[in-house]
Amino acid sequence: MQLGITQNDLAEMSGVSLATVKDIERGKGNPSIKTAEKLLAVLGMEIVYRMRCTI
């Protein structure tokens, strides 16, 4: 809402289906990292990968 875009806008801008966007917003989706990256790119965010090494 803060960006002034709708779910449909987000779906179109990211290339992700509207059904997927709706599922994710309802907490029912389990997007792949690639899908999450597409959505976050539109929202101006990115995934930060961290690895923890244990010895």
Measured distance CA(18)–CA(14) in Å, rounded: 10
Task: Tell me what pLDDT residue 10 has.
Answer: 96
- Distance (Å) of CA 31 to CA 2, 15, 22, 36, 47: 22, 13, 11, 6, 13
Measured distance CA(31)–CA(29) in Å, rounded: 6
- Is the model's pLDDT at 54 over the cut of 80? no
Task: Tell me what pLDDT residue 46 has.
Answer: 84
Nearest to 14 by CA among 50, 54, 49, 32: 32
Task: Tell me what pLDDT residue 32 has.
Answer: 92
Measured distance CA(29)–CA(18) in Å, rounded: 12
Q: Structurally, how many domains does the chain consist of?
A: 1
CA–centroid distance for 11 within its chain = 10
* CATH number of the domain enclosing 51: 1.10.260.40
Q: Which domain holds residue 55?
A: 1-55
**Mind listing the pLDDT tens digit for each residue in 6-44?**
999 999 999 999 999 999 999 998 899 899 999 999 999
- Is the model's pLDDT at 49 over the cut of 90? no
